[in-house]
């Protein structure tokens, strides 16, 4: 098989809840305390994957993590029954569903040793995510175990925060050709933390063996972070030779654009002006937290975006004008991921992009529609229908969450490799 881009989506876990743990994530804060619907959330995620397969795209999965994270609670000197509510909620978090934060990925065509390099994100800025990386790393080491094709790296050490592919873009003439890797970092976000540290980005570039001449480090604008763009993928997305971005995404866009054009002359920059779509509307609709993908039938590129974008008049009006022109983005594909959106994650948050030969990947992490049908049956039977924040201490709910995870992992024949 040939090298292609594969989207690995996180299956939304049975502990999906709205505890409002993510400072700077406006949707998460706005919906704190609301009733969540893990079953509906997970099935929405599967439908998005199913839609991608029908577009002709190759689809992978990552599994939910074991919750509650008892090992993490033990290190804090407590347990589920005795932990303070905010600590218990952090131990129950299902945020690993957002696979864009799982790792940073450099394709083989960009690296010095000709292997695909993945660095698991440390996510140290947010307590509820800081304990994800060991279980994420375990899955990465299984899915990408062929050391001839892959190099999987440990996280960058604290205190240098790294949030993975959500702050990383890659542009190239095509997926299989050498490209330009863009690492976006923050310095200040006003009242909100800047989550990606420039030193983490530089360390990843060194460890991946990237060519310095084709590696850019770009500062995210303070205005974007302060407006709720806690990751760069809330205000910009790239695919092959196209950068789709908001006018106010970067601190010094002119310098960035000039450097990008010098490194990749074929680049096309599609910029949405603030006069047409405000930062507030872009972030509310998650216009840029979309999957920008190349359609395999030669039909150009498609933007797989949340249905909220269709419901935001300024956003949808601008998008309709865009595709009416002769630009590289030819198709709009709205999807319903409302349960994820309510916690601050759109279609792009739910997936990690890996350019690879599918034959090199553990097949248990690749899916077709038939496998999704089987997974959907498990989700429909075992995932809780709803969770209120006060339910997180309920021993019956915890037992159901644990049994749900065990059932899915056993079905995917990974129980011998992944342990609680």
Annotated catalytic residues are: 163, 231, 349
The separation between CA 254 and the C-alpha centre of its own chain, rounded to angstroms, equals: 27
The separation between CA 381 and the C-alpha centre of its own chain, rounded to angstroms, equals: 26
Which tokens go with 27?
């949707």
Distances in Å between the alpha carbon of 169 and those of 106, 264, 384, 414? Answer: 10, 13, 35, 31
Assess whether the previous peptide bond of 89 is cis (omega < 30° from 0): no
Question: Beta-carbon neighbour count of residue 258 at 10 Å?
Answer: 11
Which tokens go with 189?
């976000």
In the chain, helix, strand, coil percent, each to 5? Answer: 40, 20, 40
Question: Beta-carbon neighbour count of residue 349 at 10 Å?
Answer: 27
Phi, psi of 42 (to 5 degrees): -65, -40
Which tokens go with 391?
């339910």
The helix-helix angle for 38-54 and 369-382 (nearest 10°) equals 170
- Measured torsion, CA atoms of residues 358, 329, 98, 274, in degrees rounded to the nearest 10: 160
Q: DSSP secondary-structure letter at 67?
A: S
* Angstrom distance (rounded) from CA 74 to CA 202: 33
Q: Tokens 């996180």 correspond to what residue?
A: 10
The answer to whether 44 and 340 have CB atoms below 8 angstroms apart is yes
Element of type H or E holding 361: none
3-state secondary structure (DSSP) of residue 189: strand
* Angstrom distance (rounded) from CA 359 to CA 208: 22
Q: How many angstroms separate the most distant Cα atoms in the chain? A: 60
Radius of gyration of the chain (CA): 20
* Angstrom distance (rounded) from CA 97 to CA 16: 9
* Angstrom distance (rounded) from CA 180 to CA 384: 43
- Measured torsion, CA atoms of residues 51, 101, 282, 386, in degrees rounded to the nearest 10: 70
């Amino acid at each position: 098989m040939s090298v292609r881009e594969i989207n690995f989506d996180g299956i939304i876990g049975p502990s999906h809840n709205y505890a409002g743990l993510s400072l700077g994530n406006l949707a998460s804060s706005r919906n704190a305390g609301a009733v969540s619907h893990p079953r509906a959330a997970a099935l929405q995620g599967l439908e998005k994957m199913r839609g991608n397969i029908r577009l002709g795209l190759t689809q992978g999965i990552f599994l939910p993590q074991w919750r509650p994270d008892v090992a993490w609670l033990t290190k804090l000197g407590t347990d589920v029954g005795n932990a303070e509510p905010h600590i218990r909620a952090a131990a129950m978090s299902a945020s690993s569903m957002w696979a864009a934060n799982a790792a940073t990925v450099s394709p083989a065509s960009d690296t010095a040793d000709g292997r695909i390099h993945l660095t698991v994100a440390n996510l140290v800025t947010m307590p509820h995510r800081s304990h994800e990386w060991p279980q994420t790393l375990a899955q990465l080491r299984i899915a990408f175990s062929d050391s001839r094709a892959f190099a999987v790296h440990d996280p960058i050490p604290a205190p240098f925060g790294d949030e993975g592919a959500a702050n990383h873009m890659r542009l190239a003439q095509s997926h299989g050709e050498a490209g330009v890797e863009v690492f976006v970092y923050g310095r200040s976000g006003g009242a909100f933390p800047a989550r990606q540290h420039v030193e983490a980005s530089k360390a990843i570039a060194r460890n991946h063996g990237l060519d310095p001449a084709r590696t850019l480090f770009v500062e995210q604008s303070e205005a974007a972070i302060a407006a709720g763009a806690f990751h760069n993928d809330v205000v910009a997305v790239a695919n092959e030779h196209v950068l789709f971005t908001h006018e106010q995404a970067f601190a010094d866009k002119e310098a960035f654009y000039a450097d990008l054009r010098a490194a990749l002359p074929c680049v096309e920059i599609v910029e949405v002006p603030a006069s047409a779509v405000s930062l507030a509307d872009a972030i509310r609709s998650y216009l840029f937290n979309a999957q920008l993908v190349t359609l395999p039938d030669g039909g150009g590129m498609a933007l797989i975006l949340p249905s909220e974008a269709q419901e935001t008049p300024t956003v949808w009006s601008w998008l309709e004008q865009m595709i009416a022109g002769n630009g590289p983005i030819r198709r709009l594909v709205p999807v319903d991921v409302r349960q994820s959106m309510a916690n601050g994650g759109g279609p792009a948050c739910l997936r990690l992009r890996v350019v690879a030969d599918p034959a090199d990947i553990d097949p248990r992490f690749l899916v077709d529609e038939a496998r999704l049908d089987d997974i959907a049956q498990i989700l429909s039977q075992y995932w809780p229908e709803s969770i209120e924040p006060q339910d997180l201490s309920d021993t019956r709910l915890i037992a159901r969450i644990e049994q749900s995870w065990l059932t899915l992992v056993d079905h995917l024949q990974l129980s011998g490799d992944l342990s609680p």
